[in-house]
Chains A and B, each alone.
Chain A
Amino acid sequence: MEHRGVFIFAEWTGERIHPVTYELLNEGRRLADLLEEPLGVIFLGPPEAEGEATDLGSYGADVVFLGLHEALASFRDDLYTELIIQILKEERPEIMLFSATSRGQALAPRVAGKMKLGLTAHCIAFEIRPEDKALVQIRPSFGENVMAKIISRTKPQMATVRPGVFSPASRQPGKKAELKSVAFPPALESALEVLSKRPRQRPETELVSAQVVVAGGRGLGNKELFDKLFELAELLEGAVGATRPVCHLGWISEDHMIGVSGHTVSPRLYLGFGISGALHHIVGLRNPGFIVAVNIDPEAPLMQKAHLAVVGDVREIIPLLIQRLKELKGSVTREER
């Protein structure tokens, strides 16, 4: 039997449908149209989610597989996996996409492992190969500065999608999806019992919404110089970002990490100091307005990508820049008086 359809997993956060679901719907719709196949959505959650789940049809889904049960109120990795596998075996889609969220990253590899399928993590773009309609999955490669195009030899072709990369689908009132109820097995069993949930105490880092991002890499040489970025960020009314190696050196916590498994930022101004510009970091910059790179090595990839590439020693430039900005602030304040 042939495979047919593009499927996405719609995520229930416990209170609402995760916003990233609408990004998957948009890209899923595009792929389904290219293949001239239906777009299916798998939704698992508690009965009270029915209204929101049913409404996924007005965001472009052709079919919504509704699994509504009290036992699905909390996300339990093993139980959710079994239900998704059941649907995939019955429906045999061409493509199955998850978002790279805490749930998507827990589920997709479990499904892939059990069904012995290929899985590509954190994709940032997709193409359909004309000759055989294969899904070309694009993500930063293991190397430093290349993107890889990956295909799966197995079906459904599975990938997780980096949140924030695709724009969300818009609602088209009146458009409806066919609803199919998931047939539950006699018992919904799990080895996991969710005892309690606590919302995030710290607010989401200001980095994500910052208009100015001051980021540092290993080229800064030491934590002392990295710490000066906070002073710079304050003068520019921005937030401090970092590359992965810097976080592992212990100069700063991972809350500040920009990149594949860190945050995505879209500031008006991004300043990168001592950052070589590995793609794993660069993919965390989404539509940045103006990129400034400061590096002793003019050949560094970030220097190639920057609008303004400043060749020089970060040890000299950072203190001087702080001093200049302070002077400017001072003069502005005096003028205002």
Chain B
Amino acid sequence: MQILVCLKPVPEPGTVKVDPQTHTLRREGSRLILNPPDRFALEAAVRLKESTNGRLVAVSMGPPNAKEILIEALACGADEAFLLSDRAFAGADTLATSYVLSLAAQKLGPFALIVCGKVSVDGETAQVGPELAAWLGWPSVIWVKKVSLREDKLFLTRVTDEGEEDILARPPLVITIENESYDPRPPSIKRLLWARGTEIPSLTAADLGAKEEYLGLEGSPTQVLDVFTPRHEGEREVITGEAHEVVDTLVSHLKERGLI
């Protein structure tokens, strides 16, 4: 089976600071890591590739230093990796992002299955997977905790608000993988050495034949008008001092309020 896995580079948690004046993100100095939920997607894709003797391609959209996460993907079992990188992609919302991924899926395929993580830890929208399916005109199933090939169809177990459902799906298909549903393997040393020496081609907007109207900030239908810090209301008390003192004060506060 021919499989594509989409991996997002995200700033390492805690390294992003918000500029207090402009309210914009200061990303300088923040290291890019593989979006943690995407590890489960990668593992699901690698296992399916192995069990079907297939081929697994990994893609990421991001700046040049995002190649590090693709090396990791190769070391964990992907056969090939491509970086989608172009200044024209900058500022993309989920629609513009999924457009670029859909072009890559068409150029690098044909694929029977595209696997994405459930959600990214920076944006937390969980929209790119189903939007990618929509651009391709494919069906999609989100929050999949198990996927296997059953004859020419995919057997899926998806998580819902009420429980779980088993689904038989006709490929091609996009799925997002439920967090913690697979146990991601660490990169193998042998594969890591191979990955470090493997070329990871960069594809630009021109390479993908992208239409400018759908790209980047300009091609994004959502716009951030403003950001604001929510107001803090009500009384506030600060306790400082030696640990045993503050614990005593804390306990008496909780007692006074009938909370303990």
A-to-B contact residues, CB < 8 Å: 13-14, 18, 74-75, 77-78, 81, 101-103, 105-114, 116-122, 136, 140-154, 190-201, 212, 218, 236, 244-245, 248, 253-254, 260-261, 268-269, 276, 279-280, 289-290, 292, 298, 303-313, 316-317, 320-321, 324-325, 328
Shortest distance in angstroms between A315's beta carbon and chain B's nearest beta carbon?
9
CA distance A73 to B256 in the complex (A): 53
Q: Would you call B94 and A308 a contact (CB within 8 A)?
A: no
In the complex, which residues of chain B have a beta carbon less than 8 angstroms from the beta carbon of A107? 130
In the complex, which residues of chain B have a beta carbon less than 8 angstroms from the beta carbon of A311? 238-240, 246
Q: Would you call A192 and B132 a contact (CB within 8 A)?
A: no
Q: Is B180 located at the chain interface by the 8 A CB criterion?
A: yes
Q: Would you call A148 and B224 a contact (CB within 8 A)?
A: yes
In this complex, what residue of A is CB-closest to B251?
A: A324
Q: Would you call A109 and B243 a contact (CB within 8 A)?
A: no
Shortest distance in angstroms between B120's beta carbon and chain A's nearest beta carbon?
9
Contact among A110, A280, A312 for B131, CB-based, below 8 A: A110
Instruction: Give 1 or 0 for each of B219-260: 1 = CB within 8 Å of chain A CB.
Output: 011111111111010111111110110111011011001011
CA distance A88 to B142 in the complex (A): 23
Contact among A18, A110, A305, A316 for B243, CB-based, below 8 A: A316
In the complex, which residues of chain B have a beta carbon less than 8 angstroms from the beta carbon of A317? 243, 246-247
Contact among A78, A149, A309, A321 for B226, CB-based, below 8 A: A149
Among A110, A112, A144, A151, residue most surrounded by chain B Cβ atoms (within 10 Å) = A110
List which B98-133 residues lie within 8 A (CB) of chain A: 98, 119, 121-133
In the complex, which residues of chain A have a beta carbon less than 8 angstroms from the beta carbon of B235? 307
Chain A, interface SS category: mixed
Q: Is B166 located at the chain interface by the 8 A CB criterion?
A: yes
In the complex, which residues of chain B have a beta carbon less than 8 angstroms from the beta carbon of A13? 161-162
In the complex, which residues of chain A have a beta carbon less than 8 angstroms from the beta carbon of B164? 197-198, 200
In the complex, which residues of chain A have a beta carbon less than 8 angstroms from the beta carbon of B166? 194-197
Q: Give the number of chain B interface residues (Cβ < 8 Å).
A: 81
In this complex, what residue of B is CB-closest to A323?
A: B247
Contact among B126, B161, B169, B250 for A310, CB-based, below 8 A: B250
In the complex, which residues of chain A have a beta carbon less than 8 angstroms from the beta carbon of B244? 320
Q: Would you call A193 and B167 a contact (CB within 8 A)?
A: yes
Chain B, interface SS category: mixed
In this complex, what residue of A is CB-closest to B259?
A: A269
Q: Would you call A150 and B248 a contact (CB within 8 A)?
A: no
CA distance A190 to B247 in the complex (A): 60
Q: Would you call A113 and B236 a contact (CB within 8 A)?
A: no
Shortest distance in angstroms between A118's beta carbon and chain B's nearest beta carbon?
3
Instruction: Give 1 or 0 for each of B5-25: 1 = CB within 8 Å of chain A CB.
Output: 000000001101110000101
Q: Is B192 located at the chain interface by the 8 A CB criterion?
A: no
CA distance A305 to B230 in the complex (A): 10
Contact among B129, B165, B234, B243 for A194, CB-based, below 8 A: B165
In the complex, which residues of chain B have a beta carbon less than 8 angstroms from the beta carbon of A140? 124
Shortest distance in angstroms between A255's beta carbon and chain B's nearest beta carbon?
9
Q: Would you call B243 and A312 a contact (CB within 8 A)?
A: yes
Q: Is B92 located at the chain interface by the 8 A CB criterion?
A: no
Q: Would you call A148 and B243 a contact (CB within 8 A)?
A: no
In the complex, which residues of chain B have a beta carbon less than 8 angstroms from the beta carbon of A200? 162-164
Q: Is B135 located at the chain interface by the 8 A CB criterion?
A: yes
